[in-house]
């Protein structure tokens, strides 16, 4: 049976993974529906552009930009071998999404490399996240602006974790997170832009949380994350990752691009903690991050 190009495009468009092709100069020639869904960029917006122009703006866990020379696609063409890496792309809306990226060289009949294909998979447990958000919506635990759990959701989750600590000894950590200088954004660009920044930060926090951790909006520009089953060192790494990924997010507003950072207070739960003492301690640590210049994590010694 003869098979034409549209047949293969139809198959690729029905994949949940993002798929795109580039030529030797890394000019994008195809962008499937999965890539549109994961990134927010429509095919017509990117086909004909160069992936090295930071369309996906890949960074690693330390915030190092990869799209210029270090991305799996570029390495696949340079080394002639398949490449794989776990990285963070920037969604069109500005927030960061964790993806597993695989790049492979494309060769002509003579074996010469003529381009490459990249496949990227959303590894943020989006199905579980969607189910959780729907449950929160039904229970009136969803913050209407950011689409994440609200203050009541955080309080309920925190009380549950404290009960588990008393009954089973299951320890956890708490992060108190505040957006730096959001008032300046509101004053310069208006409250609508400030709301978009809140949604962008919330998106980065939600998509990079583990499925068994809880993240919610505490109020205003403050968020709380409850991190299960961690040591102090692990909790600090989670907090640092959030700082890096929010700092590497950005929001287009008119001709400008808004970047914000966050300050975090991090603490492990203590046997005698109540929700009030735990939140107060994390809040105080967060303010120490503010006094240290913002965009950092302060954790109790």
Contact present, 83 and 76 (Cβ < 8 Å): yes
Residue ending a domain, among 122, 148, 174, is 122
pLDDT at residue 47 tops 70: yes
**165 lies in the same domain as 289:** yes
Give the pLDDT of residue 128: 60
217 vs 211, higher pLDDT: 217
- Separation of alpha carbons 59 and 262, rounded Å: 18
- Separation of alpha carbons 115 and 214, rounded Å: 42
**83 lies in the same domain as 67:** yes
Residue ending a domain, among 92, 122, 152, is 122
Average pLDDT of the residues in 34-49: 93
**157 lies in the same domain as 292:** yes
Query: Residue 1 — pLDDT band, cuts 50, 70, 90?
Result: very low
Give the pLDDT of residue 140: 77
**16 lies in the same domain as 108:** yes
* Number of structural domains the chain divides into: 2
248-290 pLDDT tens trace: 999 988 889 999 999 999 999 999 999 999 999 999 999 999 9
Q: Which of 50-54, 147-151, 220-224, 225-229 has the lowest mean pLDDT?
A: 50-54
Contact present, 201 and 262 (Cβ < 8 Å): yes
Residue ending a domain, among 99, 122, 145, is 122
Domain membership of residue 222 as a residue range: 126-299
Query: Residue 64 — pLDDT band, cuts 50, 70, 90?
Result: confident
pLDDT at residue 126 tops 70: no
pLDDT at residue 139 tops 80: no
Round the average pLDDT of the chain to a whole number and report it. Answer: 90
3-state class of 199 per DSSP? Answer: helix
CB count in 10 Å sphere of residue 48: 9
Domain harbouring 108, CATH code:
3.30.450.20
Give the pLDDT of residue 178: 98
**265 lies in the same domain as 146:** yes
Average pLDDT of the residues in 111-130: 82
Say if pTM beats, i.e. exceeds, 0.85: no
Q: Find the distance separating the first CA and the last CA of the chain, reported in whole Å.
A: 69
Average pLDDT of the residues in 148-177: 93
- Separation of alpha carbons 7 and 29, rounded Å: 17
Give the pLDDT of residue 40: 93
Average pLDDT of the residues in 123-130: 66
Query: Residue 138 — pLDDT band, cuts 50, 70, 90?
Result: low
Contact present, 18 and 120 (Cβ < 8 Å): yes
Domain harbouring 224, CATH code:
3.30.70.270
- Separation of alpha carbons 235 and 214, rounded Å: 13
**164 lies in the same domain as 285:** yes
């Amino acid at each position: 049976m003869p098979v034409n190009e549209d047949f293969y495009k139809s198959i690729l468009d029905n994949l949940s993974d993002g798929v795109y092709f580039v030529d030797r100069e890394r000019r994008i020639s195809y962008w499937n529906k999965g890539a549109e869904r994961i990134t927010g960029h429509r095919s017509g917006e990117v086909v004909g552009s160069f992936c090295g122009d930071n369309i996906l703006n890949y960074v690693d866990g330390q915030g190092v930009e990869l799209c210029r020379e270090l991305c799996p696609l570029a390495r696949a063409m340079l080394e002639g071998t398949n490449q794989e890496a776990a990285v963070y792309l920037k969604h069109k809306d500005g927030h960061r999404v964790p993806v597993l990226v695989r790049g492979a060289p494309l060769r002509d009949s003579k074996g010469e490399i003529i381009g490459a294909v990249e496949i990227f998979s959303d590894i943020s447990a989006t199905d579980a996240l969607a189910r959780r958000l729907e449950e929160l919506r039904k229970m009136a635990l969803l913050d209407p602006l950011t689409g994440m759990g609200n203050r009541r959701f955080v309080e309920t989750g925190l009380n549950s974790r404290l009960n588990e600590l008393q009954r089973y000894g299951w320890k956890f950590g708490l992060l108190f997170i505040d957006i730096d200088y959001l008032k300046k954004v509101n004053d310069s660009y208006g409250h609508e832009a400030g709301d978009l920044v809140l949604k962008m930060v919330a998106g980065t926090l939600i998509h990079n949380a583990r499925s068994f951790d809880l993240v919610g909006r505490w109020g205003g520009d403050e968020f709380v994350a409850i991190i299960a089953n961690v040591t102090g060192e692990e909790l600090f790494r989670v907090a640092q990752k959030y700082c890096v990924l929010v700092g590497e997010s950005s929001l287009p507003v008119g001709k400008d691009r808004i970047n914000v950072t966050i300050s975090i207070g991090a603490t492990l739960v203590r046997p005698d903690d109540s929700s009030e003492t735990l939140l107060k301690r994390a809040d105080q640590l967060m303010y120490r991050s503010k006094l240290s210049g913002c965009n950092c994590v302060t954790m109790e010694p």
